[in-house]
Amino acid sequence: MIFRLSTALVLGLALAGPASAGTSLVIDAASGAVLSSENAGLPWHPASTTKMMTAYLALKAVREGRIGLETAIPASKRAASQPRVKVYIKAGQEITLDNALRIMMVKSANDIAYVIAEGVGGDVESFVGMMNAEAARLGMRDSHFSNPNGWHHPDQQVSARDLAILAMALMREFPDYSDYWNTAAVQLGKQVLNNTNGLVGRYAGIGGMKTGYVCASGFNVVATATRGGRTLIAVVLGALSGTERTIKAAQLLDDGFSKWGGAGYTVAALPSQGGRATSICGDVQRKGGGVALADDADSSGPIAAQASGIGGNADDGGRFATASAPSYGSTSVLTRLPSGRVSLGPRAETMPVPVAFGRTPGSALAPLAANVSGGADSRVARGTAPVIAPSAPVAASVSGSQTGGLFADRGRTASGNGGIPGATTAFAPTDPETAQPSDASGPLRLQGAIQPGAAAPASLRAGAAAGIKPLPRPPAKPLLVKPSPKAQPATAKTTAKPAQNKPAQAAATPSP
């Protein structure tokens, strides 16, 4: 992916005025060191940042061989009926896990999140149980999940601390799959779907991750960025608009890159504040003039927010003190306009990644989805397909080896098969013992069939060899002869004449 980032003047800002209560956190991704924190242990409704856990469990299932990126997952009526944001997949339609992950992480499609949950867990309830078990294993003490897409549920909650821990797990365990959460746009048919993360394509060094919005939570984002060999994770929960969320996260990242050493403790040591997540829907509606704002506004132009209104979080504590203009070598794209508004430039020009419903050639060999009981077209039982570890991707790649495209660093095809060897076709066996012959010197071998060896006296039962005698060849049978008609008796007026050149039959020719 190539970004065309213009040079921009950056000034640090001093936030003024009160802000609605919220939560934020910035940590070093390598060490977990906390660089800044405000209410990081406060329970909060996650909204679509929930989909980070959905993606984590899906990639974990791929790593364990329980599902493949080319696995075709059928959409259920329950999945197809999920509320928007959605891409309107129909019940019975199939989509590969690879395409589903791209659509879910870029467009935040609620219907596709349910498709993934059912394909990995068999049903939504089982998958939600997996989500909560994984959260406990990772040490996400404040988290409880009720569904896989983040649609509002009063019991569904996380904290900034927990989301930072989840982001660290995704980055550390699945670094080769970062394009799932750092793609600027995907193209589904003729429709281009831009990433809901306003930092993608705008903020230098951005590594993507995930946004979230329901009225009760406000506007949430988990963002990562890398500069000078350092990678930071920023979490903003409870902003009152999408623009406010994006600008706040950019400022937090800028501030984090200016710090070294941190606060002296790690994200795991942050305390939980306990309690239940509360709704800020009233504040969001007041910000939107009486209506709840949406998280799927499609804008590729510049975005800006008033310096005094960048809150949506607790008092900044003076973290964004006014600073002098940085050197021309700065990589930030934050700009303070003469009006006092803070601006991020337009999105960089990018090429959308094509996605589609339906199967791919690799789907025939991929493990079955957990919500598929089996069928006549299933060539490999679930869990027995060849599995390629994320650290050892396939070599064959349409967009990697030939075009140097988005997946050049990972060597995956445009459809991202990931778990299927590049030389494998939809019907070719991958086991050398059952491979097709290289020439026409022998018969084709059926995959899984037992190949008998050549017969030899030593392989026969005792005494059997001596008893084998060649069968006598029967004498050749004469050629079939067409019977001739019976000859008429000779008379005085007729003379029998043999037929010429037809010795095998005789004919009687009447005389004139």
pLDDT at 190: 94
Read off the tokens for 388.
């390629």
Whether the Cβ atoms of residue 352 and residue 185 lie closer than 8 Å to each other: yes
The model carries a pTM of 0.67
pLDDT of 129 higher than 60? yes
pLDDT tens digits, 428-450: 333 444 334 344 444 444 444 44
Q: Is the dihedral of CA 362, 365, 366, 368 positive or negative?
A: positive
| Domain contains 194 | yes
Residue 195 main-chain phi, psi, to 5 deg: -65, 135
Query: By the 8 A CB rule, do 105 and 51 touch?
Result: yes
The predicted model gives 311-330 an average pLDDT of: 31
- Give the three-class secondary structure for 420: coil
Q: What is residue 259's predicted lDDT score, i.e. its pLDDT?
A: 85
**Mean pLDDT value of segment 79-87:** 96
CATH code of the domain covering residue 188: 3.40.710.10
Q: Is the model more confident about 393 or about 492?
A: 492
**For the stretch 340-351, what's the b/e string if a residue is b when 16 or more beta carbons lie within 10 angstroms of its beta carbon?**
ebbbbbbbbebe
pLDDT per position as a tens digit, 256-290: 999 877 778 999 999 999 999 999 999 999 886 65
Q: Cβ–Cβ contacts within 10 Å for residue 453, how many?
A: 6
Q: For 29-38, 135-144, 224-233, 282-291, which range has the lowest pLDDT when averaged over its residues?
A: 282-291
* Cα distance between residue 216 and residue 369, in whole Å: 34
8 Å CB contact between 511 and 494: yes
**How do strand 353-355 and strand 185-188 relate by DSSP bridges?**
parallel
Contact between 160 and 42 (Cβ < 8 Å): yes
- How far the first Cα of the chain sits from its last, in Å, is 101
* pLDDT at residue 349, as a whole number: 83
Q: Region 9-16: what's the mean pLDDT?
A: 29
The answer to the question of residue 393 being in a domain is no
The pLDDT > 70 percentage for the chain reads 58
Provide the domain limits for residue 331: 23-344
Please tell me which of 46-55, 373-382, 390-399, 485-494 the model is most confident about, judged by mean pLDDT. Answer: 46-55
Query: In this structure, what DSSP letter does residue 401 have?
Result: I
What is the token pair recorded at 245?
């969320």
Instruction: Answer whether residue 11 is part of any domain.
Output: no
| Percent of the chain at pLDDT exceeding 90 | 53
Flag whether 272 is in a domain.
Answer: yes
Distances (CA, A) of 501 to 164, 295, 481, 496, 505: 103, 99, 15, 16, 10
* Residue type at 180 in one-letter notation: Y
Average pLDDT over residues 336-356: 78
In which residue are the tokens 């310096």 written?
A: 307
The alpha-carbon radius of gyration of the chain (Å, integer) is 36
List, for residues 42-51, the tens digit of each pLDDT value: 999 999 999 9
pLDDT at 380 over 50: no
For residue 121, pLDDT over 60 is answered with yes
At 218, is the pLDDT very low, low, confident or very high (cuts 50, 70, 90)? very high
Residue 157: inside a domain, yes or no? yes
E strands within 377-471? none
Pick 217 or 260 by higher pLDDT.
Answer: 217
The answer to the question of residue 422 being in a domain is no
Least confident of 135-144, 388-397, 475-484: 388-397
d(CA 230, CA 242): 26
Q: Which residue carries 């983040």 as its tokens? A: 150
User: Which residues, in sequence order, are bridge partners of residue 151?
Assistant: none
- Tell which residue, 191, 30, 197, 1, has the closest CA to residue 108: 197
Distance between CA atoms of residues 288 and 280, nearest Å: 13
Structural domains in the chain (count): 1
| Assigned domain for 120 exists | yes
The neighbour count for residue 435, using CB atoms within 10 Å, is: 12
Backbone angles phi, psi at 235, to 5 degrees: -125, 130
CA distances from 72 to 97, 100, 365, 496 (A): 7, 10, 10, 85
User: Does 501 reside within a domain?
Assistant: no
Secondary element (H or E) of residue 221: strand 218-227
